[in-house]
Amino acid sequence: MSGHDSKYFSTTKKGEIPELKEELNSPYKDKRKDAVKKVIAAMTVGKDVSSLFTDVVNCMQTENLELKKLVYLYLINYAKSQPDLAILAVNTFVKDSQDPNPLIRALAVRTMGCIRVDKITEYLCDPLQRCLKDDDPYVRKTAAICVAKLYDINAELVEDRGFLESLKDLISDNNPMVVANAVAALAEIQESSSRPIFEITSHTLSKLLTALNECTEWGQVFILDALSRYKAADAREAENIVERVTPRLQHANCAVVLSAVKMILQQMELITSTDVVRNLCKKMAPPLVTLLSAEPEIQYVALRNINLIVQRRPTILAHEIKVFFCKYNDPIYVKMEKLEIMIKLASDRNIDQVLLEFKEYATEVDVDFVRKAVRAIGRYESIIATLCESLDTLDEPEAKASMIWIIGEYAERIDNADELLESFLESFPEEPPQVQLQLLTATVKLFLKKPTEGPQQMIQVVLNNATVETDNPDLRDRAYIYWRLLSTDPEAAKDVVLAEKPVISDDSNQLDPSLLDELLANIATLSSVYHKPPEAFVTRVKTATQRTEDDDYPDGNEAGYSETPSHAAGASPPNSSSSAYGATRQSAPAPAAPAPAAPVPDLLGDLIGLDNNAIVPVDQPATPSGPSLPVVLPASTGQGLQISAQLTGQDGQIFYSLLFENNTQTTLDGFMIQFNKNSFGLAAAGPLQVPPLAPGASARTLLPMVVFQNMSAGPPSSLLQVAVKNNQQPVWYFNDKILLHVFFTEDGRMERTSFLETWRSLPDSNEVLKEFPGIVVSSAEATLDRLAATNMFFIAKRKHANQDVFYFSAKIPRGIPFLIELTTLIGNPGVKCAIKTPNPEMAPLFFEAIETLLNA
């Protein structure tokens, strides 16, 4: 049955449009049909054939259904660009909607609903009214969907003309497909309306459950999805519903199965009988497993959903862990999800099996997958011994360092911990710095836990190595601190080195229960795949209108602006900006891989070891007002103390803007702050000024900062580790991000010529490029203003293909210039950023900054 339509794509380039015009007006039917096909072919490859509008519409009145469909297709595509001409088609539409052929009646109404031109919409009402009551179910099922289309264009019209009532009538239609489409349309209308439109009563429920049996597979999905919103009155009703939905689990269509699972899970919340629940869990497992033999893309969706399901009902798949073992040829996205689920399902009973399996993955080809597998192994103490056997095969410094940390941390549970560490000590001088640091710490921990002769000798070797024979200041400083600690007061050393660590959260942690509830109610949808509530990624027109107001951006000199350079453009009112910040974070395209957990605790050692005069007491009060800041220490972590903070630049001075909120039951006082070494040597320039905080009180302060005080070695990093203490609570540690743009200086403006010269003088190896697929520049002026306000100066602009290319310059202290080229298509997602600078190692930081600025 293969066709030969490709011939329509080859046309003579010269005078194509006039030629087509002529053919469209040919007296011969076949010629006209061929011409329309050529027009559609041209439209398909993206040529603009809108100028042929009148000629194509003239072909609309035809008996030939195929030709009619092609003309309709053309109309759907071009009516919007030619609204005045589109009206020419209305007569034919209205006439077609009364054609004796039900296919044509349906086609007319279906197409009219797709043409979003007001004048056409007006004429749609009468035909739609008729079609909703048509004798033919095919026409009615099409009309039902058309009501949803019309509601999307003009909700008022739908309500005024009583379409909602007609639609509700169709729920009782005798044709299952009409019922299903009516349910889909009503559910959609309900979603965009705040008024109750489609309320599911127990009567509707029962009727729809009966209809399920006769529906097409898709109809079953529409109905199940709509019914999953239904709240059963009691456990008995819930059990009843579940019983009628369970047979759907055997359907070959994965969407039917997932929607049935969604509905069953919802109702299970009400069911109290443990037997019934157990039985249901038993019934749901096999269909879920079967989804894993579908196409990999469907497997991925299923796995993301199973991940949610096992968090709520771990028993469902507790015995099925083997089905999640990775196949060698599974796509990487399937492997990653399977691994996640295995981690969740691991228990005492299957742990040996799981760990053996993970070990197998540690030799896989894909690096990310291997990392995840190894990290997963690290979670289980019982594996440590097995793991240690494979120590010598580790050659990636990061993996090695993590392993060594594990040995130190669990030294008391690893019989041969000393032997293991000793084997590393021989090569100590050759190891990379991160491994050396971990070896040092691990040996100290070992010594504190097992203060016997062996470890004592080891520690001397290590300390000697780390203090005398190394050039690495980090290592040397840390070694000295340990040395001094150990020699003055071993007990104190124990308190410090073996202190209880804050629980490190990682990506595989269980979701928050209320979020989980919401996600489970959204099984099979995008929300369940992203593991985010729908609001986090669904952008609606409403948000777009708000955005325009933010274009009048406050001037850079006003304090209001520079306080929150990255968030001021958020549409939210000032006092909820912290939640807006959270939302932007959540909606970032893909969660970044978590940093390895191991080295965090050592911040403690470093902080305490530093000279104490940097810790500044608090004395003067500050007024709690001004724009809000991202939360860096949530109240849940800070035992009721919440800290929000952000670096800001103001008149060439850098401040750390902080907000303290006391949600504890006691008054907190004596606040002090300390910054760990960082790439820019940021440190407090004066005392932290926070008054004693009564319960429920909050205080805001601007802490002046200095740079190049307290520099850390290694490649530049945006990590700013901060410690805050008060007299009532333990010391709080949190991480903040240094945004490079706060350092941009006012003398960063370059003349065109010097820009060009500098650009040319820098070797190509100094050029770094990064793409930001998710960023949209909607207005060039607003963006330029915003960038200028942060001392990123516009130099020139040119067009390249259909994209705009902008050039900027900026400078950070110590005279490091950045030459920037931004390429984007205004209004479309995707910004390409190329920079040239004498210090290309700063590029990642710069990109972080530019991303924040552009996202603002």
Partner 1 sequence: MPVAASAIYFLNLRGDVLINRLYRDDVGGNMVDAFRMHIMQTKELGTCPVRQIGGCSFFYMRISNVYIVIVVSSNANVACAFKFVVEAVALFKSYFGGAFDEDAIRNNFVLIYELLDEIMDFGYPQNLSPEILKLYITQEGVRSPFSSKPSDKPVPNATLQVTGAVGWRREGLVYKKNEVFLDIVESVNLLMSSKGSVLRCDVTGKILMKCFLSGMPDLKLGLNDKIGLEKESQLKSRPTKSGKTIELDDVTFHQCVNLTRFNSEKTVSFVPPDGEFELMKYRITEGVNLPFRVLPTIKELGRTRMEVNVKVKSVFGAKMFALGVVIKIPVPKQTAKTSFQVTSGRAKYNASIDCLVWKIRKFPGQTEPTLSAEVELISTMTEKKSWTRPPIQMEFQIVTYLPPSSSQVPMFTASGLRVRFLKVWEKSGYNTVEWVRYITKAGSYEIRC
C-beta closer to partner 1: residue 109 or 643: 109
* Element housing 720 (H / E): strand 719-725
The whole-angstrom separation of Cα 334 and Cα 328 is: 11
Closest separation in Å from C-beta 464 to partner 1: 30
Closest separation in Å from C-beta 293 to partner 1: 5
The three-state secondary structure class of 770 is strand
Closest separation in Å from C-beta 186 to partner 1: 12
C-beta closer to partner 1: residue 90 or 825: 825
Closest separation in Å from C-beta 532 to partner 1: 10
Closest separation in Å from C-beta 246 to partner 1: 7
The whole-angstrom separation of Cα 140 and Cα 312 is: 41
181 and 219 in contact (C-beta within 8 Å)? Answer: yes
C-beta closer to partner 1: residue 177 or 819: 177
- The values of phi and psi at residue 283, to 5°, are -75, -30
Closest separation in Å from C-beta 560 to partner 1: 28
Closest separation in Å from C-beta 249 to partner 1: 8
Closest separation in Å from C-beta 9 to partner 1: 7
C-beta closer to partner 1: residue 304 or 677: 304
Q: What is the DSSP letter of 689?
A: -
C-beta closer to partner 1: residue 480 or 537: 537
Nearest to 648, CA basis, from 740, 756, 730, 718: 740
Nearest to 401, CA basis, from 372, 380, 426, 378: 378
Q: Which residues contact 828 (CB under 8 A, 6 or more apart)?
A: 776
Look at the block and give the residue holding tokens 């059963």: 232
Closest separation in Å from C-beta 133 to partner 1: 16
Q: Which residues contact 807 (CB under 8 A, 6 or more apart)?
A: 755, 794, 795, 796, 797, 819, 820, 821, 822
Give the amino acid at 50.
S
**Most distant CA pair in the chain: distance in Å?**
105
C-beta closer to partner 1: residue 216 or 452: 216
The three-state secondary structure class of 379 is coil
179 and 171 in contact (C-beta within 8 Å)? Answer: yes
Closest separation in Å from C-beta 531 to partner 1: 11
C-beta closer to partner 1: residue 95 or 251: 251
Closest separation in Å from C-beta 28 to partner 1: 16
The whole-angstrom separation of Cα 249 and Cα 251 is: 6
Beta-carbon neighbour count of residue 14 at 10 Å?
A: 7
The whole-angstrom separation of Cα 690 and Cα 44 is: 65
C-beta closer to partner 1: residue 227 or 641: 227
C-beta closer to partner 1: residue 558 or 771: 771
Q: How many Å is the Cα radius of gyration of the chain?
A: 33
Burial class (CB in 10 A: 0-12, 13-18, 19+), 610: middle
C-beta closer to partner 1: residue 527 or 564: 527
C-beta closer to partner 1: residue 37 or 476: 37
Residues in the chain: 856
Nearest to 345, CA basis, from 369, 370, 309, 373: 309
Q: What is the DSSP letter of 500?
A: P
The whole-angstrom separation of Cα 150 and Cα 192 is: 13
Closest separation in Å from C-beta 332 to partner 1: 6
C-beta closer to partner 1: residue 529 or 787: 529
> Contacts for 796-802 with beta carbons within 8 Å, 24 or more apart?
796/752, 796/755
C-beta closer to partner 1: residue 257 or 607: 257
- The values of phi and psi at residue 834, to 5°, are -115, 135
Closest separation in Å from C-beta 800 to partner 1: 14
